[in-house]
Structure formats: structure tokens, C-alpha cells
Amino acid sequence: MNRREVSKAETRRLIMAAARKLFLENDVDRCTMRAIAREAGVSPASVVVHFKNKGALMEAALTEDIERTTAQALASLPAEGDLAERLTHIWRAMYSFYDANRKLYRALIRSTVFEPEADTPFLTWQTITFFNFLENMIDEEKATGRMASSVDSYILAAALFSQYFGVLIMFYRDPSMTPAMAADLVLAMTKQTLAGLDRHPED
């Protein structure tokens, strides 16, 4: 890495550190690109060179904490047991994390989730990685005979993640919903999904 690249990398590091500090300590709506530049000790133009808008900067600065929380939840995931209960262990950890700063992470989700994948590289990478993990969990269930081999692992993973994310939206819209309430709702949805809805001929 030459001197120019080193300088560029250091500028980016300073911007991200400043952004993370301001986002966590202040009202996100007041954290302008200019304020972040001032905190980082760089010009506003330098911030725009690295991040085209505040949403992109929020994604880069804040998804590291989301990734760390997810990793901790996966590391403490029970190795055995009911699939729905094991998944809820993850969801409960994530809802608790988001509950610590609802306004900030609501703003992050609002500015990233509905953007093209190419514009949200960190979120895209995290989602792909987590989907792979979910698919592997489902494949294990199929391999042990606890789930029908005909189940499409990707489709089921998408369904289960969609339930989690759907409740996350409810969680953000309803201040009275606690992390435990949100996790319990997803658990009930997951159990219903895994149990199936078709009536058997003998019913």
C-alpha cells in the first residue's frame, strides 16, 4: 500500500470513527455530514469522497455492532434442541440489541433496507452470510430426519427471516412492544410455519 492509499485509508477510518461517535451520542437527525467532517478533522468534501450520503456512512459505521451481536448470538446458540427455539435465541438477542437505541437503528434500517444491494454492501454481505447459516441449520434438520427432505432450504430460510424482519418492523412501530414480546411472536410464527397448515385426510 503506497502513501496515498495509506492516507486515504486513515481518512476513511477517522470519518467512520467520528460518525459512529456522533450517531451513538446524538440525535441521528442532527448528525450531518458537515458535523461528522468537523469531528473527524477532515473537509466535508473528503467525507463525500468516501461516502456518497449519510445512509451509506451510517451503514459502514454501525453494521459492525450488528455483526458482533449476531456473532455472539450464534456462538451461544444451543447445539441441540427444537429448531424454532434455537432460532428464537438469535432473534431475542437481535431485538434486545435494537432496543438499546431504537431511534438510531430505525434510522439505519429506513436508510438502507429498501436500497439496491449494490448500494448497501455491508448489509448485503451480512444478509447473505446469515441466510447461508439458516440454510445450513435447515439442512441439518433434513439430514437428521427431523424435517422432510423435500423442503427447499432457501425458501424456508427466506420465510423464517421474513417473519423475524416483519416483527422487527412491528417492534419499531410499537414502542410498547418489548424484545421478549417480539421474540415470543416470532417463535409462535415459526412453530406454526414448521407445523404446517394443510389438513390431513383423516381430519
1-51 sits in which CATH class?
A: mainly alpha
Task: Produce one character per residue of 181-199: b if its CB has 16 or more CB atoms within 10 Å, e if not.
Answer: ebbebbbebbeeebeeeee
Instruction: Tell me the C-alpha distance between 193 and 203, whole Å.
Output: 19
Q: Tell me the pLDDT of the chain (203 aa) as tens digits.
A: 677 766 888 999 899 999 999 998 888 888 899 999 999 999 999 999 998 888 889 998 888 899 999 999 999 999 888 999 999 999 999 999 999 999 999 989 988 888 888 889 998 999 999 999 999 999 999 999 999 999 999 999 999 999 999 999 999 999 999 999 999 999 999 999 999 866 655 54
Residue 150 is predicted with a pLDDT of 94
Query: What are the residue ranges spanned by the domains of the chain?
Result: 1-51, 54-195
Q: Does 1-51 match 54-195 in CATH topology?
A: no
User: Topology of domain 54-195, per CATH?
Assistant: Tetracycline Repressor; domain 2 (1.10.357)
Instruction: Tell me the C-alpha distance between 5 and 8, whole Å.
Output: 5
Residue 76: C-alpha distances to residues 70, 71, 89, 93, 135 (Å)? 10, 9, 9, 10, 18
